[in-house]
Amino acid sequence: MLCQLSIKNIALIDALTIEFTEGLNVLTGETGAGKSIVIDSMNLALGERADRDLIRAGQERASVEALFDVSACPNITPILEENGIEVEGGQLIVSRMLTTSGRNIVRINGMLTPLSLLRQITAALVDVHGQHEHQYLMDEGRHLGFLDGFAHNEIGEAAQRVAALYQQVHTLRLRLRGINDSTQERAQRLDMLNYQVEEIAQARLRPGEEEGLMEQRDLIRNAERILAALGQCSAYLDGYDDMAACTDSIRQAVSLLSGISGYGAQFEALEEQLRDVYYVLEDIAMQIHVQAEKMEFDPATAEYVENRLDEIKSLKRKYGNSIEDVLKYQEDAQKEIDQLSKQERDSSQLDRKFAKLSRELYDACAQLHALRVQAAERFSAAVGNQLRDLGMEKARLHVDFAPLPEFDQSDKYFTASGLDRVRFMISVNPGEPLKPLSRTASGGELSRIMLAFKAIAADMDDVSTMVFDEIDTGISGHMAQVVGEKMASIGRNRQVICVTHLPQIAALGDSQHLVEKQSTDDRTVTNVRTLSFDERVQELARMVGGAEQTEATRSHAREMLSMAAALRASTAN
C-alpha cells in the first residue's frame, strides 16, 4: 500500500509530504494548481523516465520518496530477497534524486539500486492509469495485450512455450539467412584464404630462419674483408715468406723451459702454462683455416640468400611483421577455412531443423490460439458485467480473432506472442451491430471501458495500489456518479488514488486532498493538504458551482458527502 509521498524541489513544490489512506483517495483542485506535478512526482518514484525540467527553477537537485507498506504484499518478497533488500516492519522506502548535472540516484531501503529493479518492484505494487491511457484502446495492436493480461493464468505456460520456440526459430532463421545470403561472399572468401594458406605453405617458413639468412648475407657482402683479416691472422700465427711463425717461437720457448724445469717447481709451472698457450694458438690457427675455407661463396648461394629474404619480406608485408606472425596468420586462415566449409555442410542440416522447429512453433501457436478463444468469452462476459455497473447496460464487447494463416515455415507471420491478431468489437446500444471499438466508442465510453478493464485487473492481480489520473475524461452527471462508485468499489479491496475534476467522484473519496497554488510577488508554490469535512464541503461546493459559492451549493455538497457515507456503510455490510 502506498502510504506516503514526499517531494522536494520538484517544479512548483519546495517540500511536500502527502499521506494517503486506505480506500479511495481523491486529489482535487483548480486547473493549473499542480495536480499533474504530484502525479509526475509519483511516477518518478515508481521509476518512470526522469525529465530534469521537473527540477524547480533555481535548484540543483530534486528528490522524491515513497513509503510503501508491503506487509500484505507477498508477491514482491522473492524479488526483494533475490536482490538482498531487507524489509523491517513491512516498510519499503523508495527514494530517487535528480540533479541538473545529470545524476539519477535510486535507493530502496537505503541501498543503491538500478532503475530497472525499481520498476520491477513498483510494477508489482502500483498500477498507474494516466490521463491518456484509455487512448490505448484505440490502438488495435494493444488489444491482444489486454486479453493476455486477463488470461495470463490460463495461457501463461502456452505463451511462454510460444515465446521460447519463436526465439529459437528467429535465431535459426537469422543464422540461415546469414549462410544463404553470403554464399557468393563465402565462396570468394574461401578462394582467397585457400590461396593465402597455399602461398605460405609453399614458402616452408621456419621460425628464426630470417635472422640466419641475414647473418649469412652479411658474411657474403663482407667476404673479401673477412678473408683478408683471416689470411693476415694465419700469416702471423703460421709464418709467411720471411715472417717467422708465432707458434714456432712459442714451441722453442717451451723447449727451453722444459730444459730447466727440473731445477724448480716454478720453472715447471711456467713450462706447463706456456705449453697450454701453444696448444690454444695451434687450435685457433686451425679454426681460422676452417673459417677461411667456409668463406668461399659461390654466386648461386648469394643469389639464393637474397631471393629467400625477398620472399620472406613479401610474405611479411602481406601477413605480419615476422615469420611467427605469418605462420599464425596461416593457422587462423586454416581455421576460418574449416569453419566456412563446415557452414556449407551444416546448411542442409539447419534447414531440416528450421522446418521442424517452425512446425512445432505453429502447433504451439494454434494451441495458444485455442486457449485465447476460450478466455475471450470469459473476458467479454467480465467486461460486460463491469460495463453494466458503469451505466452501459446494453453494451456488448466481443474479441474478434483474425483467422490463423496457413503454415508457412518462412515465419513471416510468427511473433513472440504467437499468430493471433485480435481487435475489440463493441455494440453500445441494442440492435446495433458490433463495430470496431477503435472507430466507434466515444471518449466517455473509452474511459468507462478502460475502468472496466482496471476493475477486472483489480480482482485478479496482487497490485495493492491503483492510480487514476483524470479517468473522468468525457463523462459527467450520472455517469460520473457511476464511475465514482466503481472506483470506490475497487477501493474496498485496494488503495485507490484518483485525480478528478468531478464533484460526484470527489464526494465518494474516503479522503480528499486539495492541490492548490499560492503566489507571491516573485514566487509560486504548489501545496497539498488533506481536507476536513467542512473543507471538503467548501471544495465540493466550488467544484459544483465555481468560485461563487452559495448556501445552495454548500448544501448540495453536504448532501453528496452524506450520500457517499451512506453508500460506503451499505456496501461495507
Over residues 262-278, the pLDDT tens digits come to: 888 888 898 889 888 88
Task: Using alpha carbons, select from 430, 433, 468 the residue that is nearest to residue 451.
Answer: 468
Q: Are 407 and 359 in contact (CB under 8 A)?
A: yes
* Residue at 419 is within a domain: no
* Residue at 405 is within a domain: no
* Residue at 194 is within a domain: no
* Residue at 368 is within a domain: no
Sign of the dihedral through C-alpha 219, 220, 224, 227: positive
Please state, in angstroms and rounded to a whole number, the distance separating the CA atoms of residues 128 and 142. Answer: 17
pLDDT of residue 124: 85
In this structure, what CATH number is given to the domain that contains residue 68?
A: 3.40.50.300
DSSP-based helix, strand, coil % in the chain, nearest 5: 60, 15, 25
Q: What percent of the chain has pLDDT over 90?
A: 33
pLDDT digits over 284-328, tens only? Answer: 888 888 887 777 667 787 788 888 888 888 888 888 888 998 899
Confidence band, pLDDT 50/70/90 cuts, at residue 530: very high
Lowest mean per-residue pLDDT among 373-382, 461-470, 480-489, 507-516: 461-470
* Residue at 500 is within a domain: yes
Between 350 and 327, the higher pLDDT residue: 327
Domain range spanning residue 519?
Answer: 1-125+464-529
* Residue at 453 is within a domain: no
CB atoms inside a 10 Å sphere around CB 7: 27
Q: What percent of the chain has pLDDT over 70?
A: 95
* Residue at 105 is within a domain: yes
Between 226 and 557, the higher pLDDT residue: 557
Q: How many domains does the chain have?
A: 1
Residue 424, helix vs strand vs coil: strand
**Residue 455, all three cell numbers:** 476493475
Residue 400, helix vs strand vs coil: strand
The total number of residues written for the chain in this structure: 573
User: What average pLDDT does this structure show over 547-569?
Assistant: 88
Residue 64, helix vs strand vs coil: strand
Q: Are 68 and 92 in contact (CB under 8 A)?
A: yes
User: What average pLDDT does this structure show over 11-21?
Assistant: 91
